[in-house]
Amino acid sequence: MISYETSQNMISLLSIGNLRSERVFLTAALGRVLAEDIIADSDYPLYPTSAMDGYAILHSDLGEFDSLEIWGDNPAGADEVGGVMSGMCIKTFTGSLMPQGADTLIPIENVRVEESQIIIEKPVPRGFAVRPIAESYREGEILIPRGTTLGFAQIGVLAGINRVMIRVAQRPRVAVIATGSEILDVGETMRHAGQIRSSNSYTLQSLVQQLGGEPLQMGIVGDDKNDIMERFEEALRSSDIVVSTGGVSVGDYDFVKHIVPKLGAEVIFKGVNIKPGQHVMVAQRGSKFIVSLPGFAYSSTVTFILYAAPLIARMLGVANPYDVIEATLKVPFAKRSNKSEFTACNLTFEDGRYWVDFEGKKTGSSAILTNLLGNSGLMICGEEDGDLEAGTLVRVIKL
Amino acid sequence: MISYETSQNMISLLSIGNLRSERVFLTAALGRVLAEDIIADSDYPLYPTSAMDGYAILHSDLGEFDSLEIWGDNPAGADEVGGVMSGMCIKTFTGSLMPQGADTLIPIENVRVEESQIIIEKPVPRGFAVRPIAESYREGEILIPRGTTLGFAQIGVLAGINRVMIRVAQRPRVAVIATGSEILDVGETMRHAGQIRSSNSYTLQSLVQQLGGEPLQMGIVGDDKNDIMERFEEALRSSDIVVSTGGVSVGDYDFVKHIVPKLGAEVIFKGVNIKPGQHVMVAQRGSKFIVSLPGFAYSSTVTFILYAAPLIARMLGVANPYDVIEATLKVPFAKRSNKSEFTACNLTFEDGRYWVDFEGKKTGSSAILTNLLGNSGLMICGEEDGDLEAGTLVRVIKL
């Protein structure tokens, strides 16, 4: 069995080929990952622009004149904007271009209007309330680098530079296969007590979606070699990554581990010194990957996060699928094995720090998916770590 | 002008009526907000279940016999599971029901098989590798409380209890209107230098989506009283919240602030002592809300976050639209006004703490949307705060 660190290195060294991109409409780009650098094609603003409602003036007039003649009106969006000469001003609104000659905007609140003149009551410094050329950005500046997940601010900036179509990373297609004769799909009638309701298919489908992939739900296949083989072939033809659950342990009905090599896939590794999920297997066939996870709900979720999520992130051009943060143990932690352990914990933020505790988390088998409910993280303990005292700084995968 | 704190209290006291819910399919529930408590309708597991591949035994036999007769095979999902009596064992696999009588599972790795018998090489404690009844949860336990945003673990748990349809909060419908004769939509041809490309519509639409609302894009309307009035009426008929940008300041073309009261809406407040966005206005007509934001891109985004986002969250039954966290200033901060200030900052997590700096952030007008790119947060400075030294703990809205 290889170590966790070795397994992660092997994942990061897998050749996943060039990034594949597609063009989508701006309004469909939210949450997608940018596949091009977004570069400003002009200064913004391109001309000096008013930042308030007021009067455009020459600043040098402030010491010279007690009042200035209002020479006109310059609403935002006006086509023709007149010029300002000494002794005069033009009423100018937020977002309007500054009139030629004017270098300062004196706000409405700072003047008194008497007939066609303004009397300055409170002067302002030169350039006041004028957005200078390129206040926001300069032509040629990289506004948004490739690999950025597009949020509201990115979408707004893209709109502001008139980008209608955006090049984003294609969503990797991830097929999800649950194996096990005991597994019953949601909505199916339970016929006897030995059946177990499927949760893996839905947990993993949701993880794929949250990570930006496109799930392909292949459903459940019983412990039958031919059926499993056929389902895997179908999945490989249709997807970039095939994720399966079950069939990788040491039991007589664990067929997946035997079938994957027979599909012509090269096994990258099988078995990692981790808890849960030590039987996890990663294989590659051409440009496609197979990530075979254990069957228990908590094990399959954790090993998906450790092994499938980084592949999805790499295909999207994203650096890391999850943040790993430092947190402080509130309570002692008893390590249970000499493996790298990934333990569901409560992650809270108080007094400027993240804290870890295990209140309400159940110990027991690796079937307990409910341990991942709430504000949960995955605490990482290394192979070499022993029991940990309260107050220890630990690393936590923030989910 | 009221204070920021007063404005937030007024928002939290607005009557938004009862939560409105709908039922959606499990696979459409990811990211939605739960509108019912999810309660376990039975123990899980309902019977003792094997957690490994091995042999089901009576633990009391371990001291009595050197070997145990293999009495049969119990694959996962089997309908009929035999019983185990003293001196015998049944081969039992991960996920299988434990045979009647057996109280312990001895793993495959701990025995040697000789013909039809197993020889125990490494004993285990009583109950080893058996998932006891209700290991995951008990009947009647609240598994997921209402108000939870459904993530991968929640979807998996819902599948595990066979929930096909889930009651979730309806998405509040939020109409977005951008006002201003200078504003040009994305893709439209710019005819002269006084025109400004729309970004607000797209920024706010994206924010609505990220918060779990359903945006209704009403587009741009010029500075014309009748046009604005008609567009608002249409928006009010179609949505729960109408968000507008522009037209609330002191200029001659700022019509929105005059029109909203004429629509029969009660103005809750107009003007808050904040920077940016002091002219923000919130009004209510029946069960509907109008949130009128300033026109500049940074101002409208910040005031949306402060005033529209909490309304959306309340309609969804979510406690807070954003986390407000404590962070440490890396550099001094010069306060620019005696208002509550919301300043775009870089938010990083290092050495177990969040840090704030302003590297690459531009000072200037409140038009600079690009300041919200990257890992940005909104640093909150209170009215009473003055300049802040490096090392000060500050509150930051995590975006």
Share of chain B above pLDDT 90, in %: 92
Specify whether A211 is located in the same domain as A256.
yes
> In 10 A of CB B380, how many CB atoms?
18
Q: Residue B52 is encoded by which pair of tokens?
A: 């490994």
> Helices A200-211 and A309-316 sit at what angle, rounded to 10 degrees?
30
Q: Is the per-residue pLDDT at A147 higher than 90? A: yes
Specify whether B94 is located in the same domain as B199.
no
Cβ A194–B365 below 8 Å, yes or no? no
Q: Is the per-residue pLDDT at A336 higher than 90? A: no
Which residues of B fall within a CB distance of 8 Å from A330?
none
Q: Is the per-residue pLDDT at A392 higher than 90? A: yes
Q: Among B96, B202, B366, select the one facing A26 at the smallest CB separation.
A: B202
Task: List the CATH number of the domain containing B393.
Answer: 2.40.340.10
What is the least distance, in Å, from the CA of B197 to any CA of chain A?
5
Share of chain B above pLDDT 70, in %: 100
Pick left, alpha or beta for residue A277 (phi over 0 → left; psi -120 to 50 → alpha; otherwise beta): left
Taking residues A329-335, report their average pLDDT. 97
In the beta sheet, which residues pair with residue B92? B54, B74
Question: How many CA atoms, within 13 angstroms, populate the side-chain half-sphere of residue A169?
Answer: 27
Structural element, H or E, at residue B205: helix B200-210
Specify whether B28 is located in the same domain as B160.
yes
What integer pLDDT is reported at residue A95 of this predicted model?
87
CB B183 within 8 A of CB B170: no
Cβ B95–A295 below 8 Å, yes or no? yes
Number of domains in chain A: 4
What is the least distance, in Å, from the CA of B9 to any CA of chain A?
23
Taking residues A328-332, report their average pLDDT. 98
Taking the CA atoms of residue B25, residue B30, residue B32 and residue B33 in that order, the dihedral angle to the nearest 10 degrees is 100
Instruction: Supply φ then ψ for residue B148, to 5 degrees.
Output: -80, 135
Cβ B30–A207 below 8 Å, yes or no? no
Q: Does A319 touch chain B (CB under 8 A)?
A: no
CB A247 within 8 A of CB A255: yes
Alpha-helical (H) ranges within chain A are: 4-13, 152-160, 200-211, 225-238, 256-262, 297-303, 309-316
What integer pLDDT is reported at residue A80 of this predicted model?
78
> In 10 A of CB A168, how many CB atoms?
24
Q: What is the mean pLDDT of chain A?
A: 96
Q: Is the per-residue pLDDT at A121 higher than 90? A: yes
Specify whether A175 is located in the same domain as A158.
no
CB A15 within 8 A of CB A154: no
- Which one of B152, B195, B245 would you mutate to disrupt binding with A, by most A Cβ within 10 Å of its Cβ? B152
Which residues of B fall within a CB distance of 8 Å from A352?
325-328, 353-354, 393
3-state secondary structure of B291: strand
Distances (CA, A) of A52 to A55, A88, B11, B251, B259: 9, 18, 27, 9, 21
Alpha carbon of residue B368 to chain centroid: 27
- Among A165, A186, A173, smallest CA distance to A213 is for A173
Which residues of A fall within a CB distance of 8 Å from B53?
249-252, 254
Query: What sign has the CA pseudo-torsion A266, A268, A274, A276?
Result: negative
Q: Is the per-residue pLDDT at A45 higher than 90? A: yes
Q: Is the per-residue pLDDT at A35 higher than 90? A: yes
What is the least distance, in Å, from the CA of B206 to any CA of chain A?
5
Question: Among the ranges A62-66, A204-208, B189-193, B249-253, which has the highest mean pLDDT value?
Answer: A204-208
Specify whether A221 is located in the same domain as A282.
yes
Q: Where are the beta strands (DSSP E) in A80-200?
A: 88-92, 104-107, 111-114, 117-120, 130-131, 142-144, 165-169, 173-179, 183-184, 196-197
What integer pLDDT is reported at residue B81 of this predicted model?
79
Task: List the CATH number of the domain containing B119.
Answer: 2.170.190.11
Q: Is the per-residue pLDDT at A285 higher than 90? A: yes
- Which one of A186, A323, A328, A395 would you mutate to disrupt binding with B, by most B Cβ within 10 Å of its Cβ? A186
Q: Is the per-residue pLDDT at B364 higher than 90? A: no
Q: Is the per-residue pLDDT at A252 higher than 90? A: no
Give the contacts of A314 (CB within 8 A, at least 6 positions apart): A12, A14, A16
Taking residues A199-220, report their average pLDDT. 98
What is the least distance, in Å, from the CA of A253 to any CA of chain B?
7
Task: List the CATH number of the domain containing B182.
Answer: 3.40.980.10
CA distance B39 to B139: 8
Secondary structure letter of residue B162 according to DSSP: T
Q: Does A18 touch chain B (CB under 8 A)?
A: no
Nearest chain A residue (CA) to B351: A326
What integer pLDDT is reported at residue A194 of this predicted model?
87
Specify whether B90 is located in the same domain as B210.
no
What integer pLDDT is reported at residue B76 of this predicted model?
84
Specify whether A286 is located in the same domain as A226.
yes
Q: Among A81, A200, A362, select the one facing B194 at the smallest CB separation.
A: A81
**B165: domain range?**
22-43+136-169
Q: Residue A231 is encoded by which pair of tokens?
A: 């389902």
Q: Does B328 touch chain A (CB under 8 A)?
A: yes
Share of chain A above pLDDT 70, in %: 100
Give the contacts of B237 (CB within 8 A, at least 6 positions apart): none
What integer pLDDT is reported at residue B193 of this predicted model?
86
Q: What is the per-residue pLDDT across A71-118, written as a single tens digit (0 to 9) for each?
A: 999 988 887 778 999 999 999 998 899 999 999 999 999 999 999 999
B residues 86..145 contacting A (CB < 8 A): 91, 93-97, 108-109, 129, 131-132, 135-137, 143-144
Q: Looking at chain B, how many residues does it have?
A: 399
CB A313 within 8 A of CB A320: yes
Respond yes or no on whether the N-terminal peptide bond of residue B45 is cis (omega within 30° of 0): yes
Specify whether B247 is located in the same domain as B363.
no
What integer pLDDT is reported at residue A66 of this predicted model?
87
Q: Does B78 touch chain A (CB under 8 A)?
A: yes
- Name the pLDDT band for B365 (thresholds 50, 70, 90): confident
Q: Is the per-residue pLDDT at B274 higher than 90? A: yes
Q: Is the per-residue pLDDT at A186 higher than 90? A: yes
Nearest chain B residue (CA) to A98: B194
Cβ B156–A199 below 8 Å, yes or no? yes
Q: Is the per-residue pLDDT at B103 higher than 90? A: yes
Query: What interface predicted TM-score (ipTM) does this complex get?
Result: 0.95
CB A302 within 8 A of CB A378: yes
Cβ A203–B156 below 8 Å, yes or no? yes
Specify whether A183 is located in the same domain as A305.
yes
Give me the total of CB pairs closer than 8 Å, taking one residue from chain A and one from chain B. 309
- Name the pLDDT band for A67 (thresholds 50, 70, 90): very high
- Name the pLDDT band for B63 (thresholds 50, 70, 90): confident
Q: Does A331 touch chain B (CB under 8 A)?
A: no
Specify whether B196 is located in the same domain as B143.
no
Q: What is the per-residue pLDDT across B105-147, written as a single tens digit (0 to 9) for each?
A: 999 999 999 999 999 999 999 999 999 999 999 999 999 999 9
CA distance B301 to B299: 5
CA end-to-end distance (rounded Å), chain A: 27
Task: List the CATH number of the domain containing B155.
Answer: 3.90.105.10
- Name the pLDDT band for B79 (thresholds 50, 70, 90): confident
What is the least distance, in Å, from the CA of A1 to any CA of chain B?
15
Specify whether B239 is located in the same domain as B356.
no
Pick left, alpha or beta for residue B65 (phi over 0 → left; psi -120 to 50 → alpha; otherwise beta): beta
- Which one of A203, A204, A323, A349 would you mutate to disrupt binding with B, by most B Cβ within 10 Å of its Cβ? A203
What integer pLDDT is reported at residue B38 of this predicted model?
98
CA distance B279 to B292: 9
Q: Residue B393 is encoded by which pair of tokens?
A: 């703990």
Residue at a domain's end among B294, B316, B338:
B316
B residues 255..294 contacting A (CB < 8 A): none
Q: What is the per-residue pLDDT across B293-312, written as a single tens digit (0 to 9) for each?
A: 999 999 999 999 999 999 99
Specify whether B184 is located in the same domain as B284.
yes
CA distance B24 to A112: 60
CA distance A195 to A216: 24
Alpha carbon of residue B175 to chain centroid: 21
Question: How many CA atoms, within 13 angstroms, populate the side-chain half-sphere of residue B122?
Answer: 6
Q: What is the per-residue pLDDT across B376-398, written as a single tens digit (0 to 9) for each?
A: 999 999 999 999 999 999 999 99
Q: Does A9 touch chain B (CB under 8 A)?
A: no
Share of chain A above pLDDT 90, in %: 92
Structural element, H or E, at residue B225: helix B225-238
- Name the pLDDT band for B22 (thresholds 50, 70, 90): very high
